[in-house]
């Protein structure tokens, strides 16, 4: 990780050409009582990736990137999608398509083990950062993803702007509430059922699920007083059921915390209410500038610290993409189904805007 930070310092300007790497992202799923599924996440990085809202229309032609520079997998978008990119890229870091399939890309440092590649594989090859958009553009639900993910080769492809191959993994979910995690580990694509709907970063997804066994004593309700002889020890206040819940920003701790908060959340009645609930839950994962750093400074001597660039929540029923940014905490929304899904070109919308503080008077 220190090597990556040093490399990032050297190519900071070039790094702004990509929005696919983030160190501390947290993803969750909520399901409202009316059946609406919410896909929500944070995105963190150590510099502004200048993300935009991007709508990729039906008919968009995509060619994958290969390790040897040959044309990769070619495809034509069957479904339109909308979501976030980074600094002008034509791939989505996070998004939803017109069928209600959502995909989120998460950094996976030190854990990815990409597939072997030969020249004969070029026509079915995608770079890691292209996989999410390919899924959104071609499949309607998680079952279709399962059936087709084995048809692609995802090798180690160096992103020229960075000088190394970004390590990433994905969460995929649909309108039924089914979530899966896709990881390339040990040269193979592995698909995990994700019944709790949570994803963070390294280690592998199965490790995070096994780690939950360390927290079997946690409870949503307060613990009763403990009697020690003649001494009664009551809790100091609310929350004793989850006393000791890890509160740091490491991926294992965030995974545990995300499971605790989503599983204990009182179900929202409707999709709009669940959207707001998702933002409230993700408030607990918002990283202030300076709280997560490794001591490295950039070429100008500035401290490099990961922070939450933006937070999003997606209603998979309405295909509405809600978001807020570090600079503007106002929740904004774009409705995919009100856009021209057959647009002749990609539509990009900047999200930069200052915080608006409205005066309040009786």
Nearest of 169, 145, 136, 170 to residue 316 by alpha carbon = 136
Q: What is the mean pLDDT of residues 80-104?
A: 94
Q: What is the pLDDT of residue 87?
A: 66
Q: Report how far residue 106's alpha carbon sits from residue 172's, in angstroms, rounded to the nearest whole number.
A: 11
Alpha-carbon distance of 254 to 244, in angstroms, equals 13
Residue 291: which pLDDT band, with cuts at 50, 70 and 90? Answer: confident
Between CA 25 and CA 43 the distance in angstroms is 5
Report pLDDT digits (tens) over 128-151. Answer: 999 999 999 999 999 999 999 999
Q: Which two tokens stand for residue 170?
A: 């994905």
| CA 280 to chain centroid | 17
Residue 247 confidence (pLDDT) above 80: yes
Assess whether pLDDT exceeds 70 at residue 2.
no
89 with 19: CB under 8 angstroms? yes
Confidence of residue 324 (pLDDT cuts 50, 70, 90): very high
Greater confidence, 300 or 67? 67
Is 42's pLDDT higher than 70?
yes
pLDDT averaged over the chain?
91
Q: How far apart are CA 191 and CA 148, in angstroms?
A: 11
The band of 297, judged by pLDDT with boundaries at 50, 70 and 90, is confident
Q: Render 296-339 in DSSP notation, one character per residue.
A: EE-TTSPEEEEEEEEEEEEETTTTEEEEEESS--S-EEEEGGGS
- Alpha-carbon distance of 23 to 10, in angstroms, equals 18
pLDDT tens figures, 178-208: 999 999 999 999 999 999 999 999 999 999 9
Mean pLDDT of 231-247: 92
pLDDT at 77 over 50: yes
Indicate the angle between helix axes 271-282 and 251-264, nearest 10 degrees: 140
- CB within 8 A of 303, min separation 6: which ones? 290, 293, 297
Q: Is the per-residue pLDDT at 292 higher than 70?
A: yes
Q: Where is pLDDT greater, at 307 or 17?
A: 307
Do residues 311 and 73 make contact, with C-beta atoms less than 8 angstroms apart? no
Q: Is 22 a residue whose pLDDT tops 50?
A: no
Active site residues: 25
For the residues 26-33, what does the mean pLDDT come to? 98
Per-residue pLDDT reduced to its tens digit, 209-233: 999 999 999 999 999 999 999 999 9
Q: How far apart are CA 269 and CA 165, in angstroms?
A: 43
Q: Is the pLDDT of residue 12 over 70?
A: no
Contacts of 91 (CB under 8 A, 6+ apart): 20, 85, 129, 130, 132, 133
């Amino acid at each position: 990780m220190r090597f990556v930070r040093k490399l990032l310092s050297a190519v900071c300007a070039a790094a702004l050409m990509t929005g696919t790497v983030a160190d501390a992202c947290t993803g969750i799923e909520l399901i409202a009582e009316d059946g609406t599924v919410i896909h929500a996440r944070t995105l963190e990085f150590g510099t502004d990736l200048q993300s935009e809202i991007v709508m990729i229309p039906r008919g968009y032609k995509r060619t994958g990137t290969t390790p040897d520079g040959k044309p990769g997998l070619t495809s034509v978008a069957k479904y339109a999608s909308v979501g976030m990119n980074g600094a002008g890229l034509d791939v989505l870091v996070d998004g939803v398509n017109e069928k209600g399939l959502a995909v989120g890309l998460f950094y996976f440092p030190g854990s990815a083990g990409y597939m072997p590649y030969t020249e004969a594989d070029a026509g079915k090859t995608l770079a890691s950062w292209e996989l999410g958009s390919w899924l959104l553009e071609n499949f309607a639900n998680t079952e279709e993803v399962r059936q087709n993910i084995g048809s692609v080769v995802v090798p180690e492809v160096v992103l020229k702007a960075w000088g190394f191959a970004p390590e990433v993994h994905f969460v995929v979910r649909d309108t039924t509430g089914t979530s899966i995690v896709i990881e390339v580990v040990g040269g193979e694509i592995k698909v995990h059922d994700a019944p709790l709907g949570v994803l963070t970063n390294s280690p592998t997804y199965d490790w995070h699920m096994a780690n939950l066994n360390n927290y079997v004593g946690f409870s949503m309700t307060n613990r009763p007083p403990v009697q020690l002889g003649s001494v009664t020890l009551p809790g100091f206040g609310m929350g004793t059921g989850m006393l000791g819940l890890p509160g740091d920003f490491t991926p294992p701790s965030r995974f545990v915390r995300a499971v605790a908060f989503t599983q204990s959340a009182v179900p929202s009645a409707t999709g709009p209410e669940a959207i707001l609930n998702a933002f409230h839950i993700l408030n607990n994962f918002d990283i202030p500038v300076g709280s997560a750093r490794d001591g490295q400074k950039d070429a100008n001597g500035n401290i490099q610290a990961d922070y939450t660039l933006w937070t999003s929540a997606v209603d998979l029923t309405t295909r509405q993409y809600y978001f807020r940014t570090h600079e503007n905490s106002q929740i904004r929304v774009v409705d995919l189904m009100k856009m021209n899904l057959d647009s002749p070109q990609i539509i990009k919308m900047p999200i930069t805007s200052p915080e608006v503080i409205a005066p309040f008077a009786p």
